[in-house]
Structure 1
């Protein structure tokens, strides 16, 4: 029996043998979502019920309804399983349920694996390989993580974690391309990134470096001023040590700013 493929980097969805399957209504999908964010850990019945019905309070029949949702999800995710055979994907353990999936079955797991691979390539200065891995990682996203459930309390910590990693992946992809000598061509992408994430100092650093390596010390200093203003306006803080060191290096036209740059 093949393991289903599960998607959370966008709308929660599933495939079986490469074909999309219908997961049911919002609460039934929420049951699957709660189990997905548990990363294979057992979620007790009462915790599942509390999470799925948190906004309205559970009905008197919540336990029976939960079992019905699980039964329907099993039928969708394990279509070849004999009726009386123990579930292999959505399993019952003790007083709860857990989701057991094969390696790489969940797109968020594939995403984090590719991000780690890219980190190793960057450490070895294999920047083109890092770009390729990060392109693949970012292509897995089709919208906000757990779209439709991203405001639910049960999803929020995982959505926050994955959203942060998505931003990190975008930053590292641009950093790798910058190391490959793509200066001027990256400025537009970096301006978009700082507009979307004005508190992300790493994005500002990359923008400053791109401007400087393009021969525009004036634009690099202007970007540094903008970063300082946004941080003061939004957080009431000064730039961190790394951004301050970069400012000093730009003012001094430090040769290390061109280090590692390929042509």
Structure 2
């Protein structure tokens, strides 16, 4: 039995009402979404750590999520694993006409790459006759917020709703910071308004990253890693100096932070 067939058989057995696992039998499409997201982030983490053994395991865990959804789809007569595989094969061939399409006598493709154009055509074909088509159709609600902000902005840029240079984008970031400060200066701070302005600020920062050719999600992940690494060194620095971090004043913590930064330049 091929490994993928074995995996599908294991999944079906886990979902067997009589012989299966109680936990697996209790799951449904929505209940396993958090596990899928967690597995995807663990794949990204293994890649960032360049731990290829962990990556192999994490990819297996992520594949299991796809098999799980496929089993649920088969049980409810929506689709099965073969449908999923067939669908992605068809999509990849359709979206790469320059690779899989017709060639001239010299073997050169007769069609140019048009990934976004083909995707737009697919969205138009899927769009409901009831709801008007939008350039924002298909930007998934469940994406991480930074990634979704980037995709919304990129879609709008395709129809010309975008600044042509980075200078006004930086000005917009400054404007949003000022609006946060204005809310904080109110006699009675409205937390809902503060949250709204902070959201606008984050959206503007994502736009700045996009104009600079930087992936905002990846940039923030690396900033998190850098902060974590430095803070752990601060803890070690304080331990080396026989200090308890929980008893240190802010100026001591800041001094240790600066010492770590200087040592790592």
Indicate the TM-score class for this superposition, using the shorter chain for normalisation.
Answer: under 0.3
Q: TM-score, normalised by structure 1?
A: 0.25
Higher strand share: 1
Which is richer in helix?
2
Task: Mark the structure with the bigger radius of gyration.
Answer: 2
